Structure 1
């Protein structure tokens, strides 16, 4: 009775189906059955009980499958938990309606550095210097336009050749007196000659020199100065001696007078400046002892 009672029998587990074996999977060819139409009955088969039935013919474009479709696999891996993004902290002093600013992780915001006070001091000094230079240039321009400064002039009014002869045929002795005329063409401005030297040349060779005492000239004034040039025992070459002898015989002795002056201009007591003046005169006198000025040409420049 115990063996036949179903309550005393051990529980039986359901039989598990045998897993499919790997191999080609065959799918029946698609049928042309359309809804609403009656499917055609399959043709009668000649299968008889006790005989094996032949498989249906395969279509011409059939390709066997070596791998089951992905739908045949069931993924039992649990899905990853959803990631929660942390909200950025609110900005200081910003409203709740402002959108947060996202910064790129590879960009670095430069830090603000304070400027050195020494750099500010140097920049201020440079700015002040250039402002002073600009104002000084403007002042000089205004003074120049108002006073219109011009250079003084040096000229020779008269010349007298008192003596000119050669000792031993090559030693020159000469005495020449000049009346120099200094002119200040400025209508507004005082001129002072602090240094004045006059040199005498013959055929580009220096033969005499003299110094003139300093003097001053008011605006639009001219002044005469006696310049006495004496040559004593100056050696000349043979060609130079012959050339001077020929000029004395012809009554046309040619000399060159060069002046070097240090001048200081005073423009109404506002602007004072100094500069050098260079004068060059070419004169021609008659034969001594009463040689007089025949021709002259003078120029003065800075």
Structure 2
């Protein structure tokens, strides 16, 4: 049959005059000059399982959903009587059908991936909480330190050279008894009067250890300890200390020896440097001490010995 098309507004639909059926199949050739026909009867097979409340299909048995409405109603009534005849009174038998419960509701099925995600979320939450607490502690400590600093205004001790005297100084050959000369050496005697000042206004200071080193042309030629120690200083106070440096056979290079001779012979000045090393403690109240090291520096310009006085000092 030919099909006739009609135009429907907005779309095109195909109208078929009758139900579509497969064309009938005739006899098929067998290959040996004859024909064969299919006379085998195909039984209906059902896929209903015993767990779903059904039974395997049996030939001749009525199939649910087929037949007239009266036959279906009779079959349902018969099944209901058969099910209630074997059920204890007060209890009803219901077909076991799978129920789907939302994953978030209690008693629902939880997939392994969801459980794995929950186990991963706990360490991540703990790590985030630790980071937050750590940074909060850092902020609190920083604010406390800033508050203490702004209130007390702590400052390190100051070193100032009040007076100095170069009593002796000359360059000699560095020798070993019974051996040849092994280079040049410096011998000198220097006395320095220093003032150690506490510039703080609200903090008490304690100097547990004080040491001064003497340098010439960048090389250390002597060291001395400042006594007595420890030194307790109140705010806005100072203490005077006299330090003696006795330099004996300090090795010098030829360039340093020439610089010393030029300074002393030409009438000066001789340039020396003092470097301090103070172990300082600042007391912020009774229960908050703070200890640290301070390294003050001073540069001295001296007249030539034997009566070398202090020309200028810068600390």
Normalised by the size of structure 2, how large is the TM-score?
A: 0.56
Q: 1:267 aligns with which of 262, 276, 284?
A: 284
Is residue 192 of structure 1 aligned with residue 125 of structure 2?
Answer: no
**Mapping for residues 249-288 of structure 1, pairs under 5 Å:** 249=265, 250-269=267-286, 271-288=288-305
CA deviations 1:158-192 (Å, max 9, x no partner) are: 10111112334933211101111111111011222
Unaligned runs of 5+ in 2: 5-15, 22-64, 66-98, 103-110, 175-183
CA gap of 1:73–1:171, structure 2 versus 1, over 3 A, is closer
Is residue 238 of structure 1 aligned with residue 243 of structure 2?
Answer: no
CA RMSD between the two structures: 3.6
Segment of structure 1 superposing worse, 171-180 or 190-199 = 190-199
CA gap of 1:165–1:128, structure 2 versus 1, over 3 A, is same
Matched with 1:181 is 195
Q: 2:143 aligns with which of 138, 159, 180?
A: 138
Is residue 223 of structure 1 aligned with residue 239 of structure 2?
Answer: yes
Is the contact between residue 188 and residue 268 of structure 1 (CA under 8 Å) also seen in structure 2?
Answer: no
CA displacement at 1:144 relative to structure 2: 1.2
CA displacement at 1:121 relative to structure 2: 5.8
CA gap of 1:70–1:289, structure 2 versus 1, over 3 A, is closer
Is the contact between residue 152 and residue 182 of structure 1 (CA under 8 Å) also seen in structure 2?
Answer: yes
Distance in 2 of aligned mates of 1:70 and 1:168: 131
CA displacement at 1:118 relative to structure 2: 7.0
More helix by share: 2
- SS of 1:134's partner is helix
CA deviations 1:88-117 (Å, max 9, x no partner) are: x8999xxxxxxxxxxxxxxx9x84765689
Normalised by the size of structure 1, how large is the TM-score?
A: 0.58
Distance in 1 of aligned mates of 2:100 and 2:257: 109
- SS of 2:296's partner is strand
Distance in 2 of aligned mates of 1:220 and 1:272: 19
Unaligned runs of 5+ in 1: 1-67, 82-88, 93-107
